[in-house]
Structure formats: structure tokens, C-alpha cells
Amino acid sequence: MYEFLGKKNQLYKFNANCKQEEKNGTGPGSCSLNLINNKKVLNQKTILKVVNDTLNKYYKNININEIRSTKSGKILESIAKIQGFDVHPTIMNNNDFKKENSNVIYRAFSTKQYADNFINGEYRASSGLSGTGIYVAKTKAIANKYASDPLSVILTAKLKSDAKIAKIEDIINEQRKIKESIKKSFEFSNDEKEKLLFFYKDAGRTAASLGYDALDYDSTSEFIVFNRGKLIIKSE
């Protein structure tokens, strides 16, 4: 059950209808999963908990601004689990795959084992200069650059037609507004603000927390997927 709180297309779960792990208060809008324009948007208390839990597990005694390793993908992996983005992709035969009305994308792996793990195993996110997520290529030529080894495998995929895809310029604008709001907030301590600002400086984490399934960089060959369940993999 949801309550309309006055803003267009903005709905909040009643606290009584939240799962216990989604609650962060007692008010009517105190669920961690709010629906805005049909996207699940995580609130900042939930994000702060994810950052704290990840830092305590992987980065004890390390300054947050010095985190550069691939373990920063662990934050998005936790976000994906909360958002339900960690489900397995759909496998589809070639005839049905052709009928799907979306662009073809490609994902390269160094071995078939890694490709199988991606399809059937635990959700894993990668860190990159463009943000955190599952990096895919818009063309097979780009994917081939990451598949030079004889054991390499390239998966051919599409996103489901109902996937919510963000444009990078929109996410950059959201990052700016969110970070400005955090800096002015009286709700969080300076330490908490630093952690939230760290989270939102990553375009991938920001987009996933706002409920987007993927992030498109129009002027580049890059495409980042967050919701593995929105991927359709063509069977070989």
C-alpha cells in the first residue's frame, strides 16, 4: 500500500507495509524503497548504511577518498541486491532474440568460466573511470578489443524493452543537485556527509540508487548495466 505525498508521480510506502529491513524510521514515508516515476529510489539513510557496512568489511583504517581498487564495486553489489538487480539474465534462442526490439550489446570475458559465472553466478560489479557497474560494448568491434585471448568469450545481449536507461547528462545533473543538498543538510554529521558524497561521486552508483537499470554514454562506446535481470543473452 502506498500514500501520495503531493508531488507528481511520487509515492511512498506506508511504514506498516515495509519489510523490517527496509524501515529507517516510524513516519509514513520511512521505507528505504520509495517509488518515484515507477523507479525504486533508495533514500540516503539506506545508502549510508550500505557504505558503512562495505567500509567496515573491506576498508578498515583506509581513508575513504583513497579507495581506488575494484572492491569499491562491492558497494554497488549491495545496492543491486536491495534493488533486486542481482537476478540472473534471460537466455533466449536466436529467433526469439531477433524479435526483441532493442539494440544489441556485447560483453567480453577472458574465459568461458567467467561468462558462465556472469550468467549463473553471484552478481559482480566492476569499477571504471565512467562509473561502477557491468560494462558492455555497443559494438562487437569494441568487445573484440577485450577478447584477444584464444579462450575469450563474447556474449551477445539486449536489454529488455522495459529497462529504464539513464542518460549520462541527466545523472551528472542529479549528482550535482544531490551533492548540493547533502552539503546543506543538517540531518547528517560531517563524517556521514563525507560518505554520502563519496557514494554520489560515482555515476554508476548514483544511477542504480535512483532505480535505473542501465546508464548510456551517448558519445562513447560505453554502456553500463546495473540490473542483470534486464539482460537477454542470446544462446550460442
Domains of the chain, residue spans: 1-37, 44-236
The predicted pLDDT at position 6 comes to 33
The predicted pLDDT at position 66 comes to 65
Burial, 36: exposed, middle or buried (Cβ in 10 Å; 0-12, 13-18, 19+)? middle
pTM of the predicted model as reported, rounded to 2 decimal places? 0.81
Which one has a higher pLDDT value, 110 or 221? 110
Compute the average pLDDT of residues 161-185: 96
Q: How far is residue 86's CA from residue 75's CA, in Å, rounded to a whole number?
A: 13
User: Which grid coordinates belong to 15?
Assistant: 511504514
pLDDT tens digits, 123-148: 999 888 889 999 999 999 999 999 98
The predicted pLDDT at position 30 comes to 41
The predicted pLDDT at position 12 comes to 36
User: Euclidean distance between the first and final Cα of the chain, in Å?
Assistant: 43
The predicted pLDDT at position 33 comes to 46
Strand blocks (E) in 8-125 = 10-13, 33-36, 39-42, 90-92, 104-109
Cα dist from 100 to 96, 177, 216, 234, whole Å:
7, 36, 19, 11
